[in-house]
Amino acid sequence: MNLCLWLAGLRFRVTNFGRVLIIVACAAAVAGAAPVTFVFTSDVHFGITRGSFRGGANVDATVVNAALVQAVNDLPAAVLPSDKGLRAGQPVGAVEFTVITGDLTSRMELYPIHIQSATASWAQFNICWIDGLALKDARGARTPLWFVPGNHDVSNAIGSPSKMVPATDAISLVEIYNRMMRPATPRTKASYNYAKDKIIYAHDVGGAHLIFLTIWPDTSARAWIEEDLKTVPAGVPVFIFCHDPPEIDARHLTNPYGKHDINSRDKYENVVGDIYADVAPASPSNGKPDGPTLIEQRALAKFLKAHRNIVGYFHGHSNWTEFSTWKGPDADLALNVFRADSPMKGSFSGKDETKLSFQVVVFDAAAGRLSVRECLWNTRPKSEGAASLAWGESRTVSIAIP
């Protein structure tokens, strides 16, 4: 990491990827790194309503997310559970960064209910999350918010198999690209090109290397990571943040039929560049792209086995709190995987609002440990604030390089 320069207590590394200049923050070396705390959530889905929330029915995403952001802002005063994990029994205190792994906006579908434009949804996300988050890091500076797109954000930009009005609105990807990639020439809705303007970047914090990428680690993303990791010492733990789980949905891959386009017959979303390989291309999918993704998963598993310092994977998409170990389709690896709940579309919290959650993560790169806690932020729906916070599941895992 000899390209790093000290600035305001951090080091900044400059990396070239094609014509994109990526500026990533670097922290101290592993040996001297202190435990780092961050907040993780996903699928905030501005543009839709939640069936019920704090006594209301069909409650707008702006209301639900505002309550979630308030809970996150109240977090530093909360005390971590006595669960034998990192910093157990101590106040949460400083939060070094917050991550949202996609679906910041909802797909602008016309049926069964016409969902507002991505432009309108982004404006609400901006006010609620970007302007509203008030956490501080250990230096007293404002905690950064890092995010990546989800399949809804991408579909809004490139089109969808389902009818949308307007047909496209790329504002989510434009804003994510400009804010996270910091290009010399900011993109606009007219100039943004999903095929060329890749949203993939990295930050070094607390002795760990964090990679943020669009949807899933496909062939293109793996090539970028391969180059990126050449600058990362072998003993540094690496975490991936993206939207899809390792077991990628077939419908998110590129249509294997005909012109490989997005259409209402085949229903592939084309949000991932790899063409779906698990089905023979001689016959259509009958509009049900829900087949296996073993070829794609094996390609990812092979890559992970070649890069053993990738020890954590954080994602959303199918929304509930889950701490698991991905063994790959052939049960020949062990990757720590963490799935986040959604405030709007939670599989369990959608039915029971007391199960609404985000995750509080503490890692110690020097000690080779990581603790993830489920923070239940709406346990008493009729009350508000820190008093409603409670701790649910927790897991502490090794992030020592095997």
Which domains, ranges and CATH numbers included, belong to the chain?
Answer: 5-248+293-360 (3.30.750.180)
pLDDT digits (tens, 9 = 90+) for 137-169: 999 999 999 999 999 999 999 999 999 999 999
pLDDT of amino acid 8: 29
Give the pLDDT score at 384.
Answer: 65
Q: Please tell me the pTM assigned to this model.
A: 0.91
For residue 387, the model assigns a pLDDT of 67
Task: Name the region of 9 (left: φ>0; alpha: ψ -120 to 50; beta: rest).
Answer: left
Tell me the per-residue pLDDT of 286-340, one tens digit each, with 9 for 90 and over: 556 778 999 999 999 999 999 999 999 999 999 999 999 999 999 999 999 999 9
In this predicted structure, what is the pLDDT of residue 32?
54
What does DSSP say about strands 369-376 and 357-364: parallel, antiparallel, or unpaired?
antiparallel
